[in-house]
Amino acid sequence: MQQTETDANDWPIGFFEETAGAWAGEPLIREPQGEYEQRLELA
């Protein structure tokens, strides 16, 4: 197993610089989330 240098948060060095914007598939779409559930107020 190869050891990889990590940053202070334990992420591999350069991980975000290499992967940011790398998605090459269809555009991601956030579907409507619906209405909030109405709950009884706690006493």
pLDDT in tens, 12-43: 999 999 998 888 999 999 999 999 899 999 87
pTM score, whole prediction = 0.45
Q: Binning pLDDT at 50, 70 and 90, where does residue 1 land?
A: low
Query: Helix H segments across 1-43?
Result: 15-19
pLDDT band at 3 (very low <50, low <70, confident <90, very high): confident
Cα–Cα distance, 26 to 38 (Å, whole number): 35
9 versus 4: the higher-pLDDT residue is 9
**CB-CB contact of 38 with 31 (8 Å):** no
